[in-house]
Amino acid sequence: MPTADPLFSLAGKTALVTGGGSGIGAMIAAGLVRRGVRTYITGRDPAAIADFAGQLAQGGGQCIGLAAELAGDDGAARLAAQVAEREPALHVLVNNAGANAGGSLAETTPAEWDLVMNVNVRAAFFLSRELLPQLKAAAREDDPARIINVGSIGGLHIPNWEAHAYNTSKAAIHHLTRSLCKSLGRDRITVNAIAPGPFPSRLTDTGSEAVKKSVATYVPLGRPGSPDDVEGAVVFLASRAGAYVNGTTIPLDGGYIAAL
């Protein structure tokens, strides 16, 4: 249900969450739908993303699934066109879709490197650019349109395991956040990022003994992130409460980075 507090109200707005069919993207999308936001989510499988959108809308909200392949050269443009066909204005763009590549320095292939960079960085840049007409149409002096990029604590420090392509891509998305902030502020569009630590997702099995041990050792709060945690951060950044926050990356990690 939409909140009664106008500082945090999002009712009546429209949002796009890329990669909204699973993990952190699904957590964000579910929170937006509950708050009365007409929410578009993307995934590579048309049937699967349409089915999940239907599940999120069961409580009476609005959620629409769009098929998108953001690794391709024209993936961002194709997705932007789908949104533009349906919506003249877009209040919130969440660039969440992500790819990962395991392996050491010696094992990472050029194809894996390119996939991670294309999905994690290039798609976010070009999707933001292609949707500028819709974002500008939604922007107001006291309530800007919002771009929220999903980075990672892997882009804020070097972990004890090798994830060269992923961590580099997340550091790049944090820097892109600052770069776009400087460019788009005059259009009343804010650009911020969140940098999640361990959250349950297809990239992080928070139920595994290794992750449990890591969380207990390195996260001062002693637990992984929850859906409420990421939902709260995004609602803050997307609502009037966060309208003057711009160009920042918020570690969403229970204190992991602060305690290093």
What is residue 208's three-state secondary structure?
A: coil
Assess whether 166 carries a catalytic annotation.
yes
Q: Catalytic: which of 40, 166, 218, 256?
A: 166
- CA distances in angstroms from 181 to 4, 24, 118, 188, listed in the order given: 30, 23, 21, 10
CA 229/CA 12 separation, integer angstroms: 23
What is residue 97's three-state secondary structure?
A: coil
Nearest to 118 by CA among 66, 68, 183, 192: 68
- CA distances in angstroms from 127 to 7, 68, 156, listed in the order given: 28, 12, 24
CA 192/CA 94 separation, integer angstroms: 10
Q: Which sequence positions are flagged as catalytic?
A: 166
